[in-house]
Amino acid sequence: MNVPGDASPPPARDAVGHLDAAGCERFFRRNGLPLLVENHSLGRDVYGRSAPFLLVVLLAELSGAVRSTWPAWANVLALVGAVLLVGGAYAGLNVLRGRRWSTLPQSVGVPELTFFVLAPAVLPVVFGGQWGEGLVTAGGNLVLLGVIRFVVGYGLLASLWWGMARVVDELGTSLLRLVRLLPLLMVFSLVLFYNAEVWQVFDRTHGAADLILGAFFALIILTFVALRVPGEARAALRDAADDVPGGRTAADLTRSQQVNLSAMIATSQLLQVIVVSVGMGLFFVGLGMLTITPEVMALWTVEGGVWQEAVGLGGTQLVLTQTLLRVSVAIATFTGLYYAISVQVDAVYREEFVEGIGTQLRDVLAARVRYLDLVDRSPAPR
């Protein structure tokens, strides 16, 4: 909160005072908060903005009419038939809705989404009688729509971009924060890395076990972050509202808008965990190639997995094995879990992170004050 008489910078509202309503909406989306847009709708703001991507996917799925056992000329005819079939189905949908047959979609609603799910799924059935492939296509399209609903609807890509910029801008602070945790992290990780039993375990596990283990630890990390984020979001929002004229009213968010804010903050935190995990994983891959030689693996009765790659370095052969990669990924995952837990209970980190979020929220609230004022003064639609 600003103290009277201090040399604090001008309010964030000055930076957004020139924006119109559309500019404020773009500002919200760039900050990963698309639900702050008034009258936010799935058809316009989620699937409508994703329409070009959905069209590309639909065109790619026309290949469902192609069969590897058919000659080239038959596949060409099948592709032409698929285009005519899908185009005719869309024209029929327009006629049924009382439109001209060639009308382009004005919005992406339930009819358009149903067409996107079912039209490509029909192609494998018509051209080859592949019912199973058709069901897989329809199910995959449904899953894709759900992912788009979550990712685009809550602005996760914009949040990820903002988080990456934040990591770069605060790289020095992040390194200092990591150095505070580094001694315990390194001791914990090195003891695991140079443990023969750990290598023997991951030398004999299957791919499915690796995926299940990774998903389990990822779920734990998500749980730790999710437990703290809602409270942090509310506290940061209250503090930011005190520094922005009219911020109290602008900070009165709906439940979905609060979820959007929490998702933006959680994405930023998870990005830092990912950066630390990837960095530690690369470190142990390099360390293992230098120190865990084939002789050491033979002493530990470790085969190295089903593949290995040799890299020459100054006359020395460094070997990257499947087991080394598995162990490095496992320790990187453990390290990410340890880092996620540590930063959740580290008071200095929490203060630094909340302060950075507060700076962004002051700009967002200033834009929202301006936006609500413009929306209130705009004429109601007929």
Mean pLDDT of the chain: 78
Q: Could you tell me what percent of the chain has a pLDDT over 70?
A: 81
Per-residue pLDDT tens digits for 262-303:
888 887 778 778 887 888 889 899 988 888 888 888 888 888
pLDDT band at residue 154 using 50, 70 and 90 as cut-offs: low
pLDDT of residue 10: 39
Average pLDDT over residues 54-83: 84
Q: Report the C-alpha gap between 134 and 371 in whole angstroms.
A: 46
pLDDT band at residue 31 using 50, 70 and 90 as cut-offs: confident
3 pLDDT more than 60: no
Q: Report the C-alpha gap between 107 and 54 in whole angstroms.
A: 13
pLDDT of residue 8: 38
> C-alpha distances in angstroms, 266 versus 20, 55, 256, 333, 354?
29, 31, 15, 18, 12
> C-alpha distances in angstroms, 364 versus 27, 92, 211, 263, 369?
8, 45, 39, 15, 9
1 pLDDT more than 50: no
Of 82-86, 117-121, 170-174, the poorest mean pLDDT is in: 170-174
pLDDT of residue 13: 47
CB 240 within 8 A of CB 367: no
pLDDT of residue 6: 39
pLDDT of residue 181: 62
pLDDT of residue 164: 61
pLDDT of residue 252: 81
Per-residue pLDDT tens digits for 328-350:
988 888 888 887 777 767 666 66
pTM for this predicted structure:
0.65
Average pLDDT over residues 157-162: 64
Q: Report the C-alpha gap between 245 and 369 in whole angstroms.
A: 8
pLDDT of residue 5: 38
pLDDT of residue 166: 59
pLDDT of residue 9: 38
Place of tokens 């609807």: 153
